[in-house]
Amino acid sequence: MQGFLKLEHGGGGSLTRELLEKVIIPSFTLNHLERGVGLPEMDDGATIPLSDGNNIVVTTDATTVKPLFFPGGDLGRLSICGAINDLSMMGARPIALASTLVVEEGFPVSTLKELLASMDEVMVEVGVPLIAGDTKVVEQGSLDEIIASTTGIGLAEGVITDSGSRPGDKIIVSGTIGNHQLSLLSKREGLSFEAPVESDVAPLWGMIEKALEVGGIKAMKDPTRGGLSGALNELARKAGVDFVLKEEAIPVKGVVTSATEMLGLDPLELANEGIALMVVEAEKADDVLGVLMKTELGKDAAIVGEVREGPSRVILETQIGGRRIVREPYGSPMPRIC
């Protein structure tokens, strides 16, 4: 890989994967612990195996979004939810967080307090403390306002990884897709749709904990950058299977469908911050779905397809009876979304 970085390299699509696989991961000789999940797996977090069979799960994420406040959330809420959700996708109960803030000189203290209050609100909701942190202030003009970096620490009895899908498993999406990125687009561009669109940003652990109690979960992903299509392609590629989806089963709000059609966007590629993509054993799928639908976050959950043998493709069976390959996105054309 040569040349210069583009915004699309951070968009969660094939360019992001290329950057990780060809530049970042090969740069580190020591990149995992013995028997642990590390950088090469490119999962939502890494694991530290313990002698009693449990695992400490660690994840870290830098959050940058524009605007800082958007319908349904803000940078503070987004940064904490991102870490909690990454731990949740690996089956880990969040137990502690650490946060680094890099702030531009001249940033209003009142705005900083609002963001910190939003972070605290989510942590109180989930019951996870902030136990360490760092704050830096840099010269005006060297940074666009503020970047928040959050590290999450969790504990898991059985770690769930991206490569666990097997033929016959069912695919579940826990809520409606496309809301987060469309809410940012409406705020940035001053667009009005037929109904308000709010970000779905939310901590998923409460819902995921209930699903884990049912059992049968083989893989999970929160489809943030790259959207549902990016997450599906990643899980299919890592497990070496095909994912076959029914378009009519995928939960999408009517306003998102009409807005994306008008703007020429694919809702499958839009970032989400409050839903989970889950692969579940067939015999447990209905039970997991039932548990999800009893929660506020999972009330729109649906079984959207199944896993089949194949060469790592994502296939969409359309509402008009056709079939098309859902490609891994190249990169999001909309920077600073999460």
**pLDDT at residue 305, rounded to an integer:** 98
Which of these ranges, 126-130, 248-252, 320-324, has the smallest mean pLDDT? Answer: 320-324
**pLDDT at residue 190, rounded to an integer:** 86
- Coil, strand, or helix at residue 46? strand
Answer yes or no: same fold for 31-156 and 170-325: no
At the topology level, CATH places domain 31-156 in 60s Ribosomal Protein L30; Chain: A; (3.30.1330)
> To the nearest whole percent, how much of the chain has pLDDT over 90?
87
- Coil, strand, or helix at residue 161? coil
Q: Using one digit for the tens of pLDDT, what is the confidence trace for 286-308? A: 999 999 999 999 999 999 999 99
Is the per-residue pLDDT at 251 higher than 80?
yes
Comparing 150 with 195, the larger pLDDT belongs to 150
pLDDT grade for 336, boundaries at 50, 70 and 90: confident
Distance CA(268)–CA(275), nearest Å, equals: 13
**pLDDT at residue 196, rounded to an integer:** 87
- Please tell me the CATH superfamily of domain 170-325, with its number: PurM-like C-terminal domain (3.90.650.10)
- Return the structure tokens found at 146: 């503020």
pLDDT grade for 89, boundaries at 50, 70 and 90: very high
As a whole number, mean pLDDT of residues 168-186 equals: 96
As a whole number, mean pLDDT of residues 28-48 equals: 95
Which of these ranges, 250-264, 269-283, 324-338, has the smallest mean pLDDT? Answer: 324-338
Is the per-residue pLDDT at 332 higher than 80?
no
The full set of domain ranges for the chain reads 31-156, 170-325
- Coil, strand, or helix at residue 142? coil
pTM for the predicted model, two decimal places: 0.95
**Which residue is listed with tokens 């306002």?**
145
pLDDT grade for 1, boundaries at 50, 70 and 90: confident
State the helix-helix crossing angle for 75-89 and 109-126, rounded to 10 degrees.
Answer: 30
Which of these ranges, 119-123, 236-240, 282-286, 325-329, has the smallest mean pLDDT? Answer: 325-329
Is the per-residue pLDDT at 238 higher than 90?
yes
Q: Using one digit for the tens of pLDDT, what is the confidence trace for 95-135? A: 999 999 999 999 999 999 999 999 999 999 999 999 999 99
**pLDDT at residue 32, rounded to an integer:** 94
| HSE of 27, CA atoms in CB hemisphere, 13 A | 6
As a whole number, mean pLDDT of residues 216-243 equals: 97
106 exposed, middle or buried (CB, 10 Å; 0-12, 13-18, 19+)?
exposed
Backbone angles phi, psi at 51, to 5 degrees: -65, -25
Distance CA(100)–CA(85), nearest Å, equals: 18
Is the per-residue pLDDT at 333 higher than 70?
no
State the helix-helix crossing angle for 75-89 and 205-214, rounded to 10 degrees.
Answer: 10
- Return the structure tokens found at 216: 């049968």
> To the nearest whole percent, how much of the chain has pLDDT over 70?
100
pLDDT grade for 193, boundaries at 50, 70 and 90: confident
Q: Work out whether the CA dihedral 160, 163, 164, 169 comes out positive or negative.
A: positive
Distance CA(77)–CA(57), nearest Å, equals: 21
Backbone angles phi, psi at 286, to 5 degrees: -65, -40
